[in-house]
Amino acid sequence: MTEIDNASYPSIVKPARLRKGDLVGLLSPAGPVEEAELQAGIRFLEESGCRVRLGRHALDRSGYLAGEDSARLDDLHAMFGDPEVRAIFCTRGGYGTMRLLDRIKYDLIREDPKVFAGFSDITALLLSLFARAGLITFHGPMVRQVKDIGSHPFAALLETVGSSDLHSLEFPEARVLVHGEAEGRLIGGNLCLISHLVGTSFLPSFEGSILFLEDTGEPLYRIDRMLTQLRLSGFLEGISGLIAGTFKECGERTAIEGLLIDSTKDLHIPVLSGVPIGHGASNVSLPIGVRARLDAASRSLRLKEPCVC
């Protein structure tokens, strides 16, 4: 395994909890979005007590991207550089965040830690901000989703980032593939993005982590290929537990679970499947970088430390 030297990574920093009246910024660091698609999400945020600011280039469009790389990067830096902005929520995923990683001012992110949330293609940002700036980030719903799946997942995200309590999550609908308990830092996100970050300095170490994975629209053979890549590169060897989220339109559930079991059979770790994380109607928010305890038998995940301060 070719490991990134995590000794060079900064210490972990946590954002301040989000309070009513705080200003939140909306970014489009990946694919383009129409203003009308955001109205339900903006209305929900305002009704929840947030003030909302749309990024200057959030509605830009350049083919399959939400504007030029420089414009999307400028919005990211502007939001992190503005002391009034206390949380940053992404409008949507798509493609494009990986193009920004080597130009981000990670020292700027670290100077004023803020809540940063999204998923899917945003996985690249979530993991790089943790790996390079030490920032606890949040894998959770995005603003455009509110119009399609309602506000409940986003309300749960606001509850998570608005409290320094130790949260516990139960997943009664999940399926136990391998029994056991595990403790470690939560690391994860979109399987495709994670597999494409292997070999870069933007992917944090998986050593001792509880890894969670999700994806959408990937045929079964590609899920197989990506899991095999993680296994062959050695990135699965040190994990303490595995949580499989939603694999929407990726093939038969039992076939995917068979791949998960095969990929981890020599690791002797607990494996939980069918947890509502990712591309689905219920997108549970998880803090990346926070220590947690997984109990497969009770289908529960308990945070061992606050994710905000």
| Residues recognised as catalytic | 120, 214, 279
**Residue 249 has what DSSP assignment?**
T
Task: Give 102's contacts (C-beta < 8 A, 6+ positions apart).
Answer: none
CB-based contact 274:175 (threshold 8 Å): yes
CB-based contact 123:190 (threshold 8 Å): yes
Alpha-carbon gap, residue 127 to 136, rounded angstroms:
9
Phi, psi of 69 (to 5 degrees): -55, -45
Burial of 51 (0-12, 13-18, 19+ CB in 10 A): middle
CA dihedral sign, ordered 181, 184, 186, 189? negative
Element spanning 47, H or E: helix 35-47
Burial of 228 (0-12, 13-18, 19+ CB in 10 A): middle
Alpha-carbon gap, residue 30 to 37, rounded angstroms:
15
**Residue 284 has what DSSP assignment?**
-
